[in-house]
Amino acid sequence: MKVMLDNTIRSHAEFMQHVQRNEVVVWGNSEQTIPIQGMMRKSQDNNPAYQMQKDTLFTVGRLIREDRIQAFEYSEIRFEWWRARKRVAYGNALNGCVIHDCSPALDRTKFRNGSVFDVIKKMGKKDMRREKEINELGQVPFFTWFISLTPEDIKAIISEASYINLTEFEIESFSNLDEYRIICEEAKSPEHYPDAFHLWTTKRNNIEILLSLGSGPIKV
Protein backbone atom coordinates (compact mmCIF):
# COMPACT_ATOMS: atom_id res chain seq x y z
CA MET A 1 0.00 0.00 0.00
CA LYS A 2 1.23 3.49 -0.88
CA VAL A 3 0.57 6.33 1.58
CA MET A 4 1.25 10.05 1.28
CA LEU A 5 2.27 11.55 4.63
CA ASP A 6 0.76 14.95 5.29
CA ASN A 7 2.82 17.49 7.24
CA THR A 8 0.71 16.79 10.36
CA ILE A 9 2.16 13.27 10.42
CA ARG A 10 5.72 14.60 10.37
CA SER A 11 5.08 17.21 13.05
CA HIS A 12 3.12 15.02 15.47
CA ALA A 13 5.54 12.10 15.10
CA GLU A 14 7.80 14.03 17.50
CA PHE A 15 7.05 13.00 21.07
CA MET A 16 9.98 14.69 22.79
CA GLN A 17 10.89 18.31 23.44
CA HIS A 18 13.90 20.23 24.71
CA VAL A 19 13.75 21.45 28.33
CA GLN A 20 16.07 23.43 30.53
CA ARG A 21 16.27 23.42 34.33
CA ASN A 22 18.47 25.59 36.50
CA GLU A 23 20.42 23.75 39.21
CA VAL A 24 22.32 25.38 42.07
CA VAL A 25 25.70 23.73 42.68
CA VAL A 26 28.41 24.45 45.22
CA TRP A 27 31.74 25.39 43.63
CA GLY A 28 34.46 26.04 46.17
CA ASN A 29 33.15 28.66 48.57
CA SER A 30 30.36 29.82 46.24
CA GLU A 31 27.08 28.66 44.83
CA GLN A 32 26.49 28.83 41.09
CA THR A 33 23.37 28.39 39.04
CA ILE A 34 23.97 26.02 36.13
CA PRO A 35 21.44 25.54 33.29
CA ILE A 36 20.89 21.81 32.69
CA GLN A 37 19.69 20.83 29.22
CA GLY A 38 17.56 17.76 28.72
CA MET A 39 14.63 16.12 26.97
CA MET A 40 11.15 15.19 28.13
CA ARG A 41 8.01 13.80 26.56
CA LYS A 42 5.52 16.34 25.31
CA SER A 43 2.41 16.77 27.42
CA GLN A 44 -0.70 14.84 26.46
CA ASP A 45 -3.24 16.51 24.18
CA ASN A 46 -6.38 17.82 25.88
CA ASN A 47 -8.39 15.95 23.27
CA PRO A 48 -8.08 12.19 24.09
CA ALA A 49 -9.26 11.16 20.62
CA TYR A 50 -6.62 13.34 18.96
CA GLN A 51 -3.93 12.04 21.33
CA MET A 52 -4.94 8.50 20.36
CA GLN A 53 -4.33 9.39 16.69
CA LYS A 54 -0.88 10.73 17.59
CA ASP A 55 -0.03 7.55 19.51
CA THR A 56 -0.88 5.40 16.48
CA LEU A 57 2.03 7.04 14.62
CA PHE A 58 4.37 4.56 16.33
CA THR A 59 2.44 1.81 14.54
CA VAL A 60 2.63 3.77 11.28
CA GLY A 61 6.39 4.05 11.72
CA ARG A 62 6.72 0.32 12.40
CA LEU A 63 4.68 -0.55 9.29
CA ILE A 64 6.94 1.66 7.17
CA ARG A 65 10.12 0.16 8.62
CA GLU A 66 8.75 -3.35 7.99
CA ASP A 67 8.02 -2.30 4.39
CA ARG A 68 4.37 -3.20 4.80
CA ILE A 69 3.44 0.26 3.54
CA GLN A 70 5.38 2.64 1.31
CA ALA A 71 5.46 6.21 2.56
CA PHE A 72 5.71 9.23 0.25
CA GLU A 73 6.04 12.99 0.45
CA TYR A 74 6.71 15.74 -2.09
CA SER A 75 7.96 19.32 -2.37
CA GLU A 76 4.87 21.21 -1.14
CA ILE A 77 4.64 19.09 2.00
CA ARG A 78 8.35 19.64 2.60
CA PHE A 79 7.83 23.41 2.22
CA GLU A 80 5.33 23.25 5.09
CA TRP A 81 7.84 21.21 7.06
CA TRP A 82 10.65 23.73 6.44
CA ARG A 83 8.70 26.74 7.59
CA ALA A 84 7.91 25.14 10.95
CA ARG A 85 9.98 25.43 14.12
CA LYS A 86 13.26 23.62 14.71
CA ARG A 87 12.66 19.90 14.91
CA VAL A 88 13.67 17.30 17.51
CA ALA A 89 15.13 14.01 16.25
CA TYR A 90 14.86 12.08 19.53
CA GLY A 91 11.72 10.11 20.31
CA ASN A 92 10.39 10.42 16.76
CA ALA A 93 7.89 7.76 15.71
CA LEU A 94 9.25 7.89 12.14
CA ASN A 95 12.91 7.35 13.02
CA GLY A 96 14.49 4.86 10.62
CA CYS A 97 11.65 5.14 8.11
CA VAL A 98 12.34 5.40 4.38
CA ILE A 99 10.11 8.11 2.93
CA HIS A 100 10.05 8.21 -0.86
CA ASP A 101 9.74 11.32 -3.00
CA CYS A 102 7.08 11.80 -5.66
CA SER A 103 6.37 14.51 -8.23
CA PRO A 104 4.01 17.40 -7.49
CA ALA A 105 1.05 17.65 -9.84
CA LEU A 106 2.74 20.88 -10.92
CA ASP A 107 6.03 22.40 -9.75
CA ARG A 108 5.07 26.01 -9.04
CA THR A 109 8.71 27.12 -8.84
CA LYS A 110 8.76 26.83 -12.65
CA PHE A 111 6.29 29.71 -12.75
CA ARG A 112 7.13 31.78 -9.69
CA ASN A 113 10.60 31.54 -8.29
CA GLY A 114 12.48 33.68 -5.81
CA SER A 115 13.77 33.57 -2.27
CA VAL A 116 13.19 30.20 -0.65
CA PHE A 117 11.83 32.06 2.40
CA ASP A 118 9.07 33.53 0.20
CA VAL A 119 8.40 30.38 -1.80
CA ILE A 120 7.78 28.20 1.27
CA LYS A 121 5.21 30.60 2.75
CA LYS A 122 1.56 29.67 2.71
CA MET A 123 0.31 33.28 2.47
CA GLY A 124 -2.96 32.36 4.16
CA LYS A 125 -4.92 34.48 6.63
CA LYS A 126 -2.23 34.48 9.33
CA ASP A 127 0.50 35.55 6.90
CA MET A 128 -1.72 38.29 5.46
CA ARG A 129 -2.43 39.73 8.91
CA ARG A 130 1.30 39.80 9.61
CA GLU A 131 2.66 40.96 6.24
CA LYS A 132 -0.22 43.20 5.08
CA GLU A 133 0.45 42.58 1.37
CA ILE A 134 0.22 39.58 -0.92
CA ASN A 135 3.39 37.65 -1.62
CA GLU A 136 2.63 36.09 -5.00
CA LEU A 137 5.32 33.44 -4.44
CA GLY A 138 3.29 31.78 -1.65
CA GLN A 139 1.08 28.71 -1.91
CA VAL A 140 -2.41 30.23 -1.65
CA PRO A 141 -1.86 33.01 -4.26
CA PHE A 142 -0.35 30.54 -6.73
CA PHE A 143 -3.07 27.91 -6.39
CA THR A 144 -5.75 30.62 -6.64
CA TRP A 145 -4.15 31.75 -9.91
CA PHE A 146 -3.76 28.17 -11.09
CA ILE A 147 -7.46 27.28 -10.90
CA SER A 148 -8.40 30.57 -12.59
CA LEU A 149 -6.63 29.61 -15.83
CA THR A 150 -8.83 29.61 -18.93
CA PRO A 151 -8.57 27.00 -21.71
CA GLU A 152 -6.74 29.64 -23.77
CA ASP A 153 -4.26 30.22 -20.92
CA ILE A 154 -3.61 26.50 -20.62
CA LYS A 155 -3.13 26.13 -24.36
CA ALA A 156 -0.61 28.99 -24.34
CA ILE A 157 1.31 27.49 -21.41
CA ILE A 158 1.46 24.04 -22.98
CA SER A 159 2.72 25.55 -26.24
CA GLU A 160 5.73 26.82 -24.24
CA ALA A 161 6.20 23.57 -22.33
CA SER A 162 9.78 23.02 -23.48
CA TYR A 163 10.77 26.59 -22.54
CA ILE A 164 9.14 26.28 -19.10
CA ASN A 165 10.65 22.78 -18.76
CA LEU A 166 7.31 21.12 -18.08
CA THR A 167 7.33 17.34 -17.83
CA GLU A 168 4.75 15.13 -19.52
CA PHE A 169 3.32 14.51 -16.06
CA GLU A 170 2.78 18.25 -15.54
CA ILE A 171 1.30 18.74 -19.00
CA GLU A 172 -1.18 15.99 -18.16
CA SER A 173 -2.00 17.86 -14.92
CA PHE A 174 -3.05 20.89 -16.96
CA SER A 175 -5.35 18.60 -18.95
CA ASN A 176 -6.88 17.41 -15.66
CA LEU A 177 -7.12 20.81 -13.99
CA ASP A 178 -10.89 20.49 -13.58
CA GLU A 179 -10.23 17.63 -11.16
CA TYR A 180 -8.28 19.98 -8.90
CA ARG A 181 -10.95 22.67 -9.27
CA ILE A 182 -13.58 20.25 -7.95
CA ILE A 183 -11.43 19.44 -4.92
CA CYS A 184 -10.96 23.18 -4.27
CA GLU A 185 -14.72 23.71 -4.45
CA GLU A 186 -15.14 21.05 -1.78
CA ALA A 187 -12.44 22.78 0.30
CA LYS A 188 -14.67 25.92 0.32
CA SER A 189 -11.86 28.41 1.02
CA PRO A 190 -8.53 29.37 -0.63
CA GLU A 191 -7.05 28.79 2.83
CA HIS A 192 -7.42 25.06 2.12
CA TYR A 193 -6.17 25.08 -1.49
CA PRO A 194 -2.72 23.75 -0.45
CA ASP A 195 -4.39 20.77 1.28
CA ALA A 196 -6.52 20.25 -1.83
CA PHE A 197 -3.31 20.23 -3.88
CA HIS A 198 -1.85 17.56 -1.57
CA LEU A 199 -4.91 15.40 -2.23
CA TRP A 200 -4.74 15.99 -5.99
CA THR A 201 -1.01 15.21 -6.12
CA THR A 202 -1.68 12.02 -4.16
CA LYS A 203 -4.25 10.97 -6.74
CA ARG A 204 -2.07 12.01 -9.69
CA ASN A 205 0.71 9.74 -8.39
CA ASN A 206 -1.66 6.78 -7.96
CA ILE A 207 -1.08 6.74 -4.20
CA GLU A 208 -4.05 5.18 -2.40
CA ILE A 209 -4.17 7.22 0.80
CA LEU A 210 -3.32 10.71 2.02
CA LEU A 211 -2.66 10.17 5.71
CA SER A 212 -3.36 13.12 7.99
CA LEU A 213 -4.43 13.72 11.57
CA GLY A 214 -7.79 15.09 12.63
CA SER A 215 -10.04 13.65 9.96
CA GLY A 216 -8.41 10.26 9.49
CA PRO A 217 -6.94 8.76 6.31
CA ILE A 218 -8.31 10.16 3.05
CA LYS A 219 -8.75 7.59 0.33
CA VAL A 220 -8.18 8.76 -3.23
Whether 157 and 174 have beta carbons less than 8 Å apart is answered as yes
Rounded CA separation 73/174 (Å): 21
What pLDDT is recorded for position 107? 95
pTM over 0.85: no
Rounded CA separation 146/106 (Å): 10
Alpha-carbon dihedral 183, 187, 8, 177, rounded to 10 degrees: 30
3-state secondary structure of 44: coil
DSSP 135-204: -TTSHHHHHHHHHT--HHHHHHHHHTHHHHT--HHHHHHHHTHHHHHHHHHHH-SGGGHHHHHHHHHHHH
Region of residue 95 (phi > 0: left; psi between -120 and 50: alpha; otherwise: beta): beta
Which residues of the chain are under the pLDDT cut of 70? 84-89, 124, 127-134, 215-220
Residues 6+ apart with CB under 8 A from 27: none
Rounded CA separation 129/116 (Å): 21
State how far Cα 167 lies from the chain centre: 23
Rounded CA separation 75/184 (Å): 19
pLDDT tens digits for range 119-173: 778 876 776 666 666 677 889 999 999 999 999 999 999 999 999 999 999 999 9
What pLDDT is recorded for position 136? 78
Task: Give me the phi and psi of 124, to 5 degrees please.
Answer: -90, -160
